[in-house]
Structure 1
Amino acid sequence: MNFFEGLNFFTYLIAALSGAAVLGILEKPLRHYVFLLSVLFITAVFWSKPQQFLYLLIYVLLQIVLVKGYLAIRKRYGRKAGIYHIFLVLSIAPLLINKIGGLFHLSVLGFLGISYLTFRAVQMIIEIYDGVIEEVPAVEFLSFLLFFPSISSGPIDRSRRFHEDYEKVYTRQEYLELLGDGLMKIMLGLVYKIVLAALFAKWMEAVAYGETWYAGIGYVYCYGFNMFFDFAGYSLMAVGTSYILGVKAPDNFRLPFISKDIKGFWDRWHISLSHWFRDFIFSRFIMTAIRKKWFKTRLTGASIGFIINMLVMGAWHGLTVSYLLYGLYHGVLLALTEIYQKKARFYKKYKKKKWYQAVSCFVTFQLVMFGFYIFSGRMIETVAGFIK
């Protein structure tokens, strides 16, 4: 059984959400029920994968020790950068080991959802260091870390936002609105994933091995739309399920293909991921660069920050040439967009014109699709074949 796949999962999910709906309508707290469901669903999914289950248990125990341990040290000794960096590295280490192992086709500490759990744990360590998290109740931390709707593919929630929903007891009217919104998102997600993603997958397969130039272009667009509808469909179902459980998980997509520039695209595509990197990597790099005067201008710092930020994001997807090139490609695009918008008189003169926005939309869409071509690994294959 896998998350949001197959008859068994959805049968159990309907039963679980029915119980949540009863509790919500009766104005009862949902937090203990959410924790119980997460434990049950994770056990059911991982039961047939004993090695992954063992890795998951080791990982969770490690993160509890790191988060609770760092909180205790932070309270006693204050902001010590050296100690903070040690705990940060230790928290990221399992994911890093897993990614490096993947280069050699080894499953080291690998389990479904390790990336998304790492985002949650690392975010808590960073915000404990910042002083904005002062308490970490063990059960709530486990509920946040193991929240089953978003464990395998997001969206990436934030602990303080999760805490507000976790503690809240909704009125009947409030919960009924959440229930309605949640059911609508689940139904739309099913259409995205089961109908539209499958349709584009079929078309993609039909043109995958075509030798004509237009077959190659058709593959790129089918791949891009298939990836969007598959991932957005999963995200909608995860968010919809979260709503019914009383947790307003953030939306992950917002009409990304109508973006007017590449910055707008990353504000609409995989939003929880791009905003996480923006807040915890890009912004902190920029603040450090300004404080230590690394660059002559803020524009230079921002441009380099975009490239570093997206390279890290590419590496997060995997330490392969395709993923790293994808990150570099988007980092350069973001840097060039920033320079163009800050320096070009043409942009400042025409940016509000409808014709300019239409052209910008079209160009951005093509750039995004070429990025998917890099991401798919097909470009590397094509280049290798050409060289041969």
Structure 2
Amino acid sequence: MISFIPYASFRFFCLIAVLLLPVIILGLMGKRNLLYNDCVAILMTFLIFAAQPAQLISFLIFIIWEAVLIRGYLALRARKNTGLYFYIAIVLSVLPLFLVKLSADVTSLSVLGFLGISYVSFKSIQMIIDIRDGLLKEVPLSQFFRFITFFPTISSGPIDRYRRFKSDMDQIPSALTYRTLLYHGLNKIFLGFLYKYIIGYLIHKYWMGSPLLDSNTFSSILLYMYGYSMYLFFDFAGYSHFAIGVSSLMGIQTPENFNKPFLSRNIKDFWNRWHMSLSFWFRDFIYMRFVYTAVKNKWLKNRYLISDIGITVNFLVMGFWHGFMLHYIIYGIYHAIAFILFDKFERWNKTHHLWAKDNPWVHGLSIVITFHVVCFSFLIFSGRLNFLW
């Protein structure tokens, strides 16, 4: 069976071009055929997983599991809004992803995994939280399956929100609006080719593949750090451009994922620019909820300490989300420490006015410092320093 991993081959793009041609023609007429779109989604989901039938079966079981959980919790929430029901629903929703992440140590669990399980899990968890908050009163199964199986973003995001996605699905773009979406989508796709298949490819082949990076000397590790950071950005940003571009062709405005992250002035600014859909997801559903719960229940009096603990929990969970390997955990801790230290510095600077933000030299130096702080975190993330521990 031929593999159709999203955006991994020219064959995939040819298939997308053929399947989306009717969608584009209807869009230019200000129309949409949901039945055809659903058929394309089903076909693409099958083709993406068909080369590995075990993944297809796991994916189908997963979406049925999540659908039952969400509909069940929705019914329970309508009767009684208790924390117990909510936490049970969250634990059960996270369970498949937890077991798959655990498969690095327990290989027998790897059979449960499938391409994109992390990103699909985030979608279902977010829906459960919205139900808890009273933001979702109903979830039609048709809308749930459209959201979960939206193939342009199924493997690696960007992570959309159900209510935003549903709003796009419910409102058919006018012919004029769709022309803008079409232009935006094609521009994103061509930019994706530039990022992933030209710049990313050249960095991977001639920089990452250089024999100068084979040893564990300081200079080779330093060169690897810069090369890996650049490759990680252009490869992932390229993929995100593809996903956003194809979404636009389907009349869905999937959120942006990157905004010139290496021009960030500090670590906070970086996380507002890098993998934004993931960063904002963690901010909204882990950090903010932890802080809100801690303040509401008066766990601690010091609001700065509550924030610091929330930041630590946020980045630790992010580290574990990437995997249970030590370098991912250290990566999470590293960013938590960097974030907390900058937060303390920022508060101190408001009083002492040492670091003038409007000074162009300070601005430039801030970017250089942040760039190196971030690149070192990617070096940890890559596992290249595992020989140290």
Q: State the distance in 1 between where 2:278 and 2:368 align.
A: 24
Q: What amino acid is aligned across from residue 267 of structure 1 in structure 2? A: N
Conservation of the 8 A alpha-carbon contact between 2:100 and 2:113: yes
Question: Does structure 1 residue 363 correspond to structure 2 residue 365?
Answer: no
The alpha-carbon deviation at position 198 of structure 1 amounts to 0.8
Q: Percent identity?
A: 41
Aligned to 2:253: 248
- Write the distance in 2 (CA, Å) between the matches of 1:102 and 1:32: 40
Q: How does 1:47-196 map to 2 (within 5 A)?
A: 47-77=50-80, 79-106=81-108, 107-196=110-199
Contact 2:32 2:172 in 1 (8 A): yes
Counterpart for residue 358 of structure 2: 352
Following TM superposition, by how much is the alpha carbon of 1:347 offset from its aligned partner in structure 2, in angstroms? 4.9
Across the two proteins, how many residue pairs are aligned to each other? Answer: 382
Q: Which residue of 1 aligns with 2:213?
A: 208
CA contact (8 A) 2:23 2:32 kept: no
Runs of 4+ residues deviating >4 angstroms: 346-349
1:269 aligns with 2:264: no
For residue 133 of structure 1, give the secondary structure of its aligned residue in structure 2.
coil
Deviations 1:278-333 (A, max 9, x none): 00000011111111222232111111111110010010000110101000100111
Work out the CA distance in 1 between the residues paired with 2:301 and 2:10.
59
CA contact (8 A) 2:54 2:111 kept: no
Q: 1:308 to 1:260 in 2, by over 3 A?
A: same
CA RMSD of aligned residues (A): 1.3
Structure 2 counterparts to residues 331-350 of structure 1, below 5 A: 331-344=336-349, 345-347=351-353, 350=356
Listed one character per residue, the Cα deviations across residues 167-222 of structure 1 (whole Å, up to 9, x for unaligned) are 11111111011000000000000110001111111211203304542222111100
Q: Relative to structure 2, which stretch is displaced further, 336-345 or 134-143? A: 336-345
Deviates more, 1:276-285 or 1:64-73: 64-73
TM-score (norm 1): 0.96
CA contact (8 A) 2:157 2:240 kept: yes
Name the CA distance, whole Å, in 2 between partners of 1:336 and 1:34.
Answer: 48
Q: What is the SS of the residue equivalent to 1:350? A: coil
Aligned positions of 1:216-231 closer than 5 A: 216-231=221-236
Aligned in 2, Cα 1:281/1:30: closer, same or farther, shift over 3 Å? farther
Select 2:28's aligned residue among 25, 41, 59: 25
Cα distance in structure 2, aligned partners of 1:347 and 1:318: 40
Cα distance in structure 2, aligned partners of 1:129 and 1:227: 36
Q: Give 1:30 deviation, angstroms.
A: 4.5
Q: CA deviation at 1:75?
A: 1.1
Structure 1 unaligned blocks of 5 or more: none
Structure 1 pair 292–23 and aligned structure 2 pair: CA distance change class (3 A): same
Contact 1:74 1:129 in 2 (8 A): yes
Kept after mapping to 2: 8 A contact 1:304/1:335: no
Superposition deviation, residue 34 in structure 1 = 2.9
1:300 aligned onto 2:302? no
Matching residue's letter, 1:152 = S
Q: Secondary structure at the match of 2:318?
A: helix
Give ranges in structure 2 of 5+ residues lacking alignment. none
Tell me which residue corresponds to 1:38.
41
CA contact (8 A) 1:30 1:246 kept: no
**Structure 1 position 32, deviation (Å):** 3.3
What displacement does 1:19 show? 1.7
Q: Does 1:329 align with 2:331?
A: no
Q: Per-residue deviation at 1:346?
A: 4.2
Is the 1:351–1:357 contact (alpha carbons within 8 Å) kept by the matching residues of 2?
Answer: yes
1: CA distance between counterparts of 2:232 and 2:290?
30
SS in 2 for 1:173: helix
Q: Distance in 2 between matches of 1:286 and 1:196?
A: 41
